[in-house]
Structures are given as structure tokens and as C-alpha cells.
């Protein structure tokens, strides 16, 4: 059973940056694609971005495109989400997830493993 543990959340002012990490309990990036989702208070969980297992291509929701980047460290089995130019509407619980052989944009139903999340709060 793969375990995913997120870290790096916190309180930041609008316009600031945060970097989230997701540590996997084992080598997972091949053949699992990784994704970040988020859930704001009172809203459904939504896709943020993903990185494909085979080519490392990344995909992002329109709401974060140009501000967020995703990368992975295959040696450390760690997924990173760099968030820049944060806005109050980015406030949410951020979840790391993994999907075997998935590509492109991903949906909740497709994911095989989930972390417990890390909270990001952006103040105005």
C-alpha cells in the first residue's frame, strides 16, 4: 500500500509563494502519474495539476496556469508543487494523489492513492 504524505502548507499573504511536497513511501513515479487536487471550504475537490509518469509532461487547471509548477524528484520519491503569485481563492486543503498509467488531466475517480492533505491559507 503506497502512502503519500503532504507537507509545506501554511499561511501566506496574497502575492506570496509556497512550495508543497508530497513524499511517497516507495518508488511510484513509474508507472504512476501524480496529481494535486484541492478542496476549498464548502466546495468540491478540484484538479490543480498533474505530471505524467512516462514523459513528465505537466498539465494545470486554468485557474493556476502560469502560477503553479509541478516537478518530481525520482531519487527522493518526492512530488513538488511550487505555487507563486498566490491569491485568496487559492485557499484550500491540497491533496497529493497517484494514478497508475494515467495521463493528462485527471479526475478524482481515476486516482488510486491519496494523501491526507496540507492546508494552504492565503490572506488578502
Start-to-end CA span in the chain (Å): 40
Which of 65-74, 101-110, 113-122 has the least mean pLDDT? Answer: 101-110
Tens-digit pLDDT profile for residues 74-92: 889 999 999 999 999 999 9
Strand, helix or coil for residue 109: helix
Q: Residue 35: what pLDDT?
A: 96
Q: Over the stretch 8-57, which tens digit does the pLDDT of each residue have?
A: 999 999 999 999 999 998 888 888 999 999 999 999 999 999 999 888 89
Name the β-bridge partners of 68: 83
At 67 the pLDDT is: 98
Amino acid at each position: 500500500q503506497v502512502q503519500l504524505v503532504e507537507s509545506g502548507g501554511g499561511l501566506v499573504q496574497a502575492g506570496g509563494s509556497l512550495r508543497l511536497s508530497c513524499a511517497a513511501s516507495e518508488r511510484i513515479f513509474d508507472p504512476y502519474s501524480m496529481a494535486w487536487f484541492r478542496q476549498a471550504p464548502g466546495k468540491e475537490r478540484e484538479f490543480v495539476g498533474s505530471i505524467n509518469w512516462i514523459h513528465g509532461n505537466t498539465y494545470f487547471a486554468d485557474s493556476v496556469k502560469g502560477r503553479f509548477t509541478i516537478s518530481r524528484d525520482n531519487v527522493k520519491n518526492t512530488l513538488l508543487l511550487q505555487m507563486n503569485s498566490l491569491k485568496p481563492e487559492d485557499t484550500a486543503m491540497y491533496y497529493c494523489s497517484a494514478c497508475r498509467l494515467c495521463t493528462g488531466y485527471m479526475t478524482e475517480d481515476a486516482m488510486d492513492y491519496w494523501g491526507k492533505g496540507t492546508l494552504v491559507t492565503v490572506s488578502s
